[in-house]
């Protein structure tokens, strides 16, 4: 019998190639996972920045906007609402007190640039039209609502804001600190979002102001 010295073909090279492919695939998976984690973190960061730039929350601490707002409610403020236009009559806005800018208050816009607003003890008149505001002040027509009796002519970029609770807000609205510059209006209040049982949108009551003539 003739012996043969033939050897089986070595599979070592194929094994090493497969191992390299496995290792490469694992490295690719790790790189892909790292990219996905980075993308998620970047997305979350962008969302946080956008939210902080566009949206602000505000804790109501007083009764000056009753009955619309109650103490301990939290409101959502859209800080970008007036990028392409100014506040309108009836808007509920976040205002920095012109005499003390660190003091922020929520007030309703009653008159806008160019308007003439006249206050008596029982009425508010804008450009000669007397407003019927009882729907949001809960004060019947002809009943006392103002301690300040005066007439204001608003210049460019000036707004007259008042609290809905007229008898409790005079010191901290335009009756006390005067017309508000546009730069002191920080955003439009959109809604109350907390507590959940109190969730509601801000009503601007356009019908109250719809008959006010142009200045």
Domain boundaries, the chain: 13-56, 60-209
Higher pLDDT, 158 or 47: 158
CA–CA distance, 20 with 110 (Å, rounded to integer): 75
Q: Got the DSSP string for the chain?
A: -------PPP-HHHHHHHHHHHHHHHHHHHHHHHHHHHHHHHHHHHHHHHHHHHEEEEE--SSTTTTT--TT-EEEEETTTTSSS---TT-EEEEE-TT-TT-EEEEEEEE-TT-EEEE-SS-EEETTEE---HHHH---TTS---S--EEEE--TTEEEEE-SSHHHHGGGSHHHH-SEEGGGEEEEEEEEEESGGG-EEPP--HHHHTTPPP-
**How confident is the model at residue 40, as a pLDDT?**
77
Tokens for 102?
């660190």
Given a contact cutoff of 8 angstroms between Cβ atoms, the answer to whether 87 and 204 are in contact is no
- pLDDT of 42 above 70: yes
**How confident is the model at residue 150, as a pLDDT?**
93
Confidence of residue 47 (pLDDT cuts 50, 70, 90): low
pLDDT in tens, 55-85: 889 999 999 999 999 999 999 999 999 999 9
pLDDT in tens, 95-145: 999 999 999 999 999 999 999 999 999 999 999 999 999 999 999 988 999
Given a contact cutoff of 8 angstroms between Cβ atoms, the answer to whether 108 and 92 are in contact is yes
- The average confidence (pLDDT) of the chain is 87
- pLDDT of 198 above 50: yes
Please name the residues in contact with 190: beta carbons below 8 A apart, sequence gap of 6 or more: 75, 76, 77, 78, 81, 201, 202
Given a contact cutoff of 8 angstroms between Cβ atoms, the answer to whether 111 and 159 are in contact is yes
**How confident is the model at residue 34, as a pLDDT?**
76
- pLDDT of 6 above 70: no
**How confident is the model at residue 2, as a pLDDT?**
46
**60-209 under CATH 2.10.109.10, yes or no:** yes
**How confident is the model at residue 36, as a pLDDT?**
76
**How confident is the model at residue 62, as a pLDDT?**
94
pTM of the model as a whole: 0.78
Mean pLDDT confidence for 150-171: 95
Higher pLDDT, 175 or 148: 175
Closest CA to 127 of 162, 151, 163, 107: 151
**How confident is the model at residue 1, as a pLDDT?**
47
**Range scoring the smallest mean pLDDT among 7-11, 51-55, 153-157, 199-203:** 7-11
pLDDT in tens, 12-38: 555 555 555 555 577 777 777 777 777
């Amino acid at each position: 019998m003739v012996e043969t010295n033939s050897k089986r073909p070595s599979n070592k090279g194929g094994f090493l190639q497969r191992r390299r492919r496995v290792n490469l695939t694992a490295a690719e998976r790790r790189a892909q996972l790292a990219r996905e984690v980075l993308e998620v973190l970047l997305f979350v960061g962008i969302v946080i920045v956008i939210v902080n730039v566009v949206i602000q929350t505000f804790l109501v601490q007083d009764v000056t906007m009753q009955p619309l707002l109650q103490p301990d409610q939290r409101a959502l403020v859209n800080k970008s609402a007036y990028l392409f236009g100014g506040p309108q009559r009836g808007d509920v806005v976040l205002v920095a007190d012109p005499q003390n800018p660190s003091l922020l208050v929520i007030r309703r816009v009653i008159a806008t640039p160019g308007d003439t607003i006249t206050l008596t003890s029982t009425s508010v008149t804008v450009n000669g039209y007397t407003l019927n505001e009882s729907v949001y002040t809960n004060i019947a027509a002809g009943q006392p609502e103002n301690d300040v009796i005066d007439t204001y002519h608003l210049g460019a970029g000036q707004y007259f804001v008042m609290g809905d609770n007229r008898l409790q807000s005079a010191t901290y609205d335009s009756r006390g600190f005067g017309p508000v510059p546009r730069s002191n209006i920080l955003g439009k209040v959109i809604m109350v979002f907390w507590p959940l049982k109190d969730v509601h949108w801000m009503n601007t009551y356009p019908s109250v102001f719809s008959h006010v003539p142009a200045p």
